[in-house]
Amino acid sequence: MIQPRATKVLVIGYVWPEPRSSAAGGHMMQILESFLQQGWDITFSSPAGTGEHRADLAPLGIREVPIELNNSSFDMFISELAPDVVLFDRFMMEEQFGWRVEKHCPNAMRVLESSDLQSLRDARHQRLKDRLKASDDNNDFSEMFAPALREEFEFMADTDLAKREIAAIYRCDLTLMVSQVEIELLVEQFKVPRNLLHWCPLMVELPTRSPVPFEDRANFLHIGNFRHAPNWDAVLWLKTTIWPLIRAQLPTAQLHIYGAYTPPKATALHNAAQGFHVMNWAEDALQVMSATRVCLAPLRFGAGIKGKIVDAMLCGTPNVTTPVGAEAMYGEEAWPGAITRTAREFADCAVRLYNDKAQWLNAQAQAQTLLAGRYQQALHGPALIERLVECQQHLANIRRDNFTGSMLRHHQHKSTQYMAQWIEAKNRLN
């Protein structure tokens, strides 16, 4: 009997995945794992250089093929590969390669992995900058947190980044979204058809071992890739305002800050006398998280959902965060720690969690409930595959009904194509 051909997938990565450096890298690996469980044939390509913490995909059976921007060599590559599905990792890759995919593999389903809405994160960052310029108050940021969706739309609507990002969503057949809040923002305010979006949060295996007990843990921890602007801002807020408030109540407290690609400006903040330790990259984030009593995530802006908080839940480590940090990460479930709006409240909650074993154990139990109800790979992996297969089966109807996407592809791809061809011709002359 002739066996059916395995679905052939091409992933075009903004970077080579680094699951130990960022939540985005971890989410990409979770998506790839879902494909591998189906026996799909996967090729991963990227125009980026190789990072020092990149995952080795070849032992998983995934081909790795470097590609170039603005180079027609990609045309021959994708024509020969003839994928059934092309997954763009971040909208910039759809801008660069989408027209080439459509031209040479028009029947391939085009899927966008958004990671988070970059235009939302950027608009929130600008609001924070404006707020810091307008006021010396470094304690209360209540007005920054969780505004109405309409207000978020008004901050984003006129930005170039939002127009580019949402145009890419329209041009694709399906976009994977980690945040249900961002889905509602796109549907209710930007009028993106709901059928073009699929909720695919971080996907994890539930822990089988008992977490490290309260008595065997010590210290506070913050972790996050320093190349991600919200993480660097969180470190600054910790250093200037929150950590002094914690140390005033716990004079011997120690804070360990881990992050990939630690810049000199971060290491300059290290001060052992203040208990403020910049530790560089953690080779095993779950190990250091498991030894920690409380995770601190004082995010004043950002988007998507937070890998550091999922890691904390996996390790049974209660966390203190802000409404931005907790956004879209829980529904009816209780939060496994504390959600705060001011530096003073943040510090007080962190100290209480650190000292109060009963409260700490309750938060730990709430983390297990939240993980089981919202983040199981066993639930979201099959749901992702089912949605992709369904879209493949109805691809012609999806594209017919998405006239806005068709129109955007017609105009944007023409301009992008001509620009890419001009750059390629210019590069030949040089």
Residue 29 has pLDDT above 70, yes or no: yes
Q: Which residue type is seen at 353?
A: L
Query: Measuring CA to CA, how many Å separate 3 from each of 6, 90, 250?
Result: 9, 34, 65
Which amino acid is present at 181?
Answer: V
24 within a domain of the structure (yes/no): yes
Given a cut of 60, whether residue 25 has pLDDT beyond it is yes
Quote the pLDDT of residue 376.
Answer: 96
Residues 181 and 223 in one domain: no
The Cα 258–Cα 201 span in angstroms is: 24
Q: Are residues 282 and 346 in the same domain?
A: yes
The separation between the first and the last C-alpha atoms of the chain, rounded to the nearest angstrom, is 55
Two tokens, residue 102: 């459509």
Domain assignment present for residue 124? The answer is no
Q: Per-residue confidence at 427, pLDDT binned at 50, 70, 90?
A: confident
| CATH number, residue 90 | 3.40.50.2000
Max CA pair span of the chain:
74
Say how many domains are in the chain.
2
The burial class, CB within 10 Å (0-12 / 13-18 / 19+), for 165 is: buried
- Together in a domain, 84 and 172: yes
Assess whether 196 and 338 both reside in one domain: no
**Whether residues 327 and 367 fall in one domain:** yes
Nearest CA to 142 out of 343, 351, 349, 350 is that of: 343
Query: pLDDT confidence of 395, banded at 50, 70, 90?
Result: very high
Residue 182 in any domain: the answer is yes
My answer on whether 114 and 220 are in the same domain is: no
Position 363 in a domain: yes
- 111 in a domain, yes or no? yes
Task: Give dist(CA 390, CA 52) in Å, integer.
Answer: 37
**DSSP assigned state of 342:** B
CA atoms of 20 and 111, how far apart (whole Å): 24
- In the three-class reduction of DSSP (H, G, I as helix; E, B as strand; rest coil), residue 96 is classed as helix
Q: Note whether 170 and 284 are same-domain residues.
A: no
Tell which residue, 109, 36, 43, has the closest CA to residue 377: 36
Whether 141 has a pLDDT exceeding 60, the answer reads yes
Where residue 413 falls among pLDDT bands split at 50, 70, 90? Answer: low
Residue 6: the pLDDT is: 85
Average pLDDT over residues 123-132: 96
Euclidean distance between CA atoms 430 and 422, whole angstroms: 13
Instruction: Tell me what the pLDDT averaged over the chain comes to.
Output: 94
Amino acid at 102: E
At 411, is the pLDDT very low, low, confident or very high (cuts 50, 70, 90)?
A: confident
| CA proximity to 110, closest of 126, 97, 129, 119 | 97
Q: For the sheet containing 220-223, what is the strand order?
A: 276-280, 255-258, 220-223, 294-297, 319-321, 337-339
- Does the pLDDT value for residue 180 go beyond 90? yes
3-state secondary structure of 76: helix
Within-domain flag for 334:
yes
- Let me know whether 164 and 254 are in one domain: no
Residue 417's pLDDT band (cuts 50, 70, 90): low
- Say how far apart CA 72 and CA 256 lie, in whole Å: 47
Residue 24 CA: distances (Å) to CA of 18, 53, 169: 8, 13, 18
Domain contains 129:
no
In the numeric block, which tokens belong to residue 366? 């709430």
Is-contact 284 314, C-beta < 8 A?
no
Give Cα separations from 311 to 69, 217, 319 (angstroms). 34, 16, 10
Residue 130 lies in a domain: no
- 234, 341: one domain: yes
**Quick one: 173 and 271 in the same domain?**
no
What confidence score (pLDDT) does residue 1 get?
43
Half-sphere exposure of 149 (CA within 13 A, CB side): 13
What is the span of the domain harbouring residue 299? 214-375
Burial of 375: CB neighbours in 10 Å, binned 0-12, 13-18, 19+: buried
177 and 59 assigned to the same domain: yes
Q: Are 214 and 357 in contact (CB under 8 A)?
A: yes
What is the mean predicted confidence (pLDDT) over 360-367? 98
User: Per DSSP, what are the bridge partners of residue 269?
Assistant: none
Q: What is the pLDDT of residues 296-326, one digit of tens each?
A: 999 999 999 999 999 999 999 999 999 999 9
> Cα–Cα distance between 25 and 179 in angstroms, integer?
16
* 369, two tokens: 């409930």
Minimum mean pLDDT range among 260-264, 298-302, 424-428: 424-428
What does the pLDDT average to over 282-306? Answer: 96
When pLDDT is averaged across residues 65-81 and rounded to a whole number, the result is 96
How many angstroms separate the CA atoms of 98 and 86, rounded? 9
pLDDT at 420: 65
Q: Which residues of 311-341 are buried (b: 16+ CB within 10 A; e: fewer)?
A: bbbbbbbbbbbbbbbbbbbbeeeebbbbbbb
Banded model confidence at residue 383, pLDDT cuts 50, 70, 90: very high
- Looking at the chain, the whole-number percentage of residues with pLDDT higher than 70 is 95
Same domain? 231 vs 299? yes
2, pLDDT greater than 60: no
